[in-house]
Amino acid sequence: MSHPKTVQEIVIVGAGLAGLIQYRALQSRGFKPFLIDPRPQHALGLSNADTRSTALTPRAVGLLGLSDDWLREHGQQITEMVVDGGLSPALRREASLNLDSGAWVVFNRDLTQFLLDTTDIQGRFEQAVVGSAVEGGQRIVRLNDGHQIGARVVIAADGKNSQLRRAEDIQSHQRDFHQTALTGRIKHTAPHQGRAFQRFLPGGTLAFLPLRSDDKDGNHASSFIWVEPTSKAKGLFSLSPDTLVERMQVRFGDALGTLSAPQDPAWGQFPLRAHHCETIVGERLALIGEAAHAMHPLAGQGLNMTIKDAAALTEVLVAQRRLGLDGGDGQALLDYQRERRADTARITALTTGLHDVLDRSPAPVRALAASGLEMIERFPPIKALLRREADR
């Protein structure tokens, strides 16, 4: 590879939530990161860009620096999680967990807009990274227009199929759940009162997270994630929004009153795969977010893990700079790996295990239905993920 055309302090590849969160964390500590993404810059915050929502743990809220005012305007605090084993046709309150942990549900689209509004983004857009190499104390990334950009450290935030991870031959252990998730926003006539719902159904789940409502007609809003085996999801999720909502209502019951599709549903489909990597660093390279790990969304931990990745990597880079040392130094990047890899591998394994238990064996589902609240106490993965993890 010839000499780079441009040199930057830190390059971040990928402007999804992971890349934007990392960008903001670094910029707020005085770095000048540079972002690369194939999408046009104006498309990053488009209203239908991300149809998911996230329950942010208090730790994640703190790391993101979301103010009380912003949370009150855009977020909804979860007060209770109602869990159901899916044995009866509609939801029954079989287990309930009071979540006094202060988790906030935010729509990913609003979080993206917050990140765009509070950063001054420098980068190259409408360009994908197609290759990279280490040369002269820099990692140099090559864009599809042939332009080359070098930096002492490159951060791969380029998602599940990370080009940088594959090009570096970093082993990633993949697990295809053969499930697809439909996600989006839904209206309902009864107030959610801060309650989240999760129905574990044969072959999938139907979950609702409470959203702050801005509906002038007095409708209330939640975000849903409906997971079905991919073979079934294809036909089901291609139904018209109104027909789909009717099916959803039958599967869920009336705990939220009558469900209805918003005017412009903009719902999104996601095939579900988990993966974790042998290593999350390479020469002058650090992987964050879904480039480094992906997990089943049933415990809602993926983005929370990503936020911790970005915070840990920022601290490592700040410490190196304080000592006048190279941010891309191998030992420093290993510090980042030590801080994050075990944590994400543990949560990925836990969520996969939880999925397998609920999916493959009818017995725990029956137990779930039979033993009510006690089940939560006796079922450590759920307890750990819904309560203890929320405080981490």
Ligand X SMILES: Cc1cc2nc3c(=O)[nH]c(=O)nc-3n(C[C@H](O)[C@H](O)[C@H](O)COP(=O)(O)OP(=O)(O)OC[C@H]3O[C@@H](n4cnc5c(N)ncnc54)[C@H](O)[C@@H]3O)c2cc1C
Which of 10, 11, 18, 386 lies at the binding interface for ligand X (CB under 6 A)?
18
Query: Please, which residue, 33 or 320, has the CB nearer to ligand X?
Result: 33
Which of 138, 304, 314, 351 lies at the binding interface for ligand X (CB under 6 A)?
304
Residue with tokens 């290593």: 279
Q: Rounded distance, CA 157 to CA 236, Å?
A: 32
Q: Is 158 in the site for ligand X (CB under 6 A)?
A: yes
Query: Please, which residue, 96 or 269, has the CB nearer to ligand X?
Result: 269
Least distance (Å) between residue 279 CB and ligand X = 17
Q: Rounded distance, CA 153 to CA 65, Å?
A: 25
Q: Is 300 in the site for ligand X (CB under 6 A)?
A: yes
Stretch touching ligand X by CB under 6 A, among 152-160, 168-176, 320-328, 361-369 = 152-160
Q: How many CB atoms lie within 10 A of CB 338?
A: 12
Q: Is 306 in the site for ligand X (CB under 6 A)?
A: yes
Q: Is 184 in the site for ligand X (CB under 6 A)?
A: no
CB 92 within 8 Å of CB 370: no
CB 187 within 8 Å of CB 40: no
Q: How many CB atoms lie within 10 A of CB 10?
A: 23
> Is 297 strand, coil or helix?
helix
Q: Rounded distance, CA 296 to CA 302, Å?
A: 8
Residue with tokens 């988790």: 103
Query: Please, which residue, 298 or 369, has the CB nearer to ligand X?
Result: 298
Q: Rounded distance, CA 261 to CA 253, Å?
A: 16
Query: Please, which residue, 103 or 375, has the CB nearer to ligand X?
Result: 103
Q: Is 38 in the site for ligand X (CB under 6 A)?
A: yes
Query: Please, which residue, 162 or 249, has the CB nearer to ligand X?
Result: 162
Applying CB under 6 A, what is the total number of residues that bind ligand X?
A: 33
Which residue number has the CB closest to ligand X?
A: 16
- Degrees (nearest 5) of the Cα angle 303, 309, 311? 110
Query: Please, which residue, 158 or 228, has the CB nearer to ligand X?
Result: 158
Phi, psi angle pair for 134, to nearest 5°: -100, 130
Which of 8, 54, 101, 112 lies at the binding interface for ligand X (CB under 6 A)?
54
User: What does 288-315 look like in DSSP terms, one character per residue?
Assistant: -GGGTEE--GGG--HHHHHHHHHHHHHH
Which of 11, 13, 61, 99 lies at the binding interface for ligand X (CB under 6 A)?
13
The residues binding ligand X (CB under 6 A) are 13-19, 36-39, 52, 54-55, 128-129, 157-159, 163, 181, 183, 225, 270, 289-290, 297, 300-304, 306
